[in-house]
Structure 1
Amino acid sequence: VEDAEAAMRVTLENAGTTALAVASLYGGARVALALQERHPAVGGLCLVAPDVDPLSLVRLSCPLLVIVGAEDTRVPRAALAAAVAEAGGDLEVIDDAGATFHRNLPQVGRAAAAWLQRLSGG
């Protein structure tokens, strides 16, 4: 988490902004969640195939996008959907994809880009 905090500080300084969105992949979701909990500058979380307990998402107070593959069975989908909904977030399910999105990276990118556009007011 310390390395991510340092990277976040550098990004905020160089961008001249007071807020940023954090994206993570798989187990990196734990780091993203810790950053959001510790730093109000984290104004949004995009978690791709998060390897976390869905209940850890319920308490989030920032915009949230969770992207999962339709064939990813690591986290129970119903529990994940309920947690994302309770947090007021969005769940994007990518068809014909597992946890690694080998053939579906363009869809992941488009979903994240559209969410960032909405987050920035565009």
Structure 2
Amino acid sequence: MNQLDVLIFTQSLSSVLMQLERLGETVELELGAGVLDVQAAIPGAGDGQVDRRDILKNGKITKYGRQRYGNRLSFKNGTLTIQNLKAADAVTYFYHFRGDPRKPMGIDVVVKE
């Protein structure tokens, strides 16, 4: 009898983009149609700690999103807007391309000097 060894590769599509912004400015993250959920990285999270939290769920700003950003955060037509960018806002924002969980995406907001 012949033994058949099968090697399975799982292909995953993901992308991380970088967006340079200045402190105090308004940032628009164009996430696209179908995106209704966004998580923001938690600055300073260590190993074994929660490293991101929902700021947008089903197209609505979450309680955590309001606590973290106050009234500076809004969402409309696939665009997440952060007014008056603060240093703590310069993190990675995670979402799924067109809302498809098989297509994770991220945008790193980086402060311009």
Q: Normalised by the shorter chain, which TM-score bucket?
A: under 0.3
TM-score norm. by structure 2 comes to 0.26
Structure with bigger helix share is: 1
Which has the larger Rg? 2
Structure with bigger strand share is: 2
Q: Which protein, 1 or 2, shows the higher relative CO under an 8 Å CA cutoff with sep ≥ 6?
A: 2
TM-score norm. by structure 1 comes to 0.25
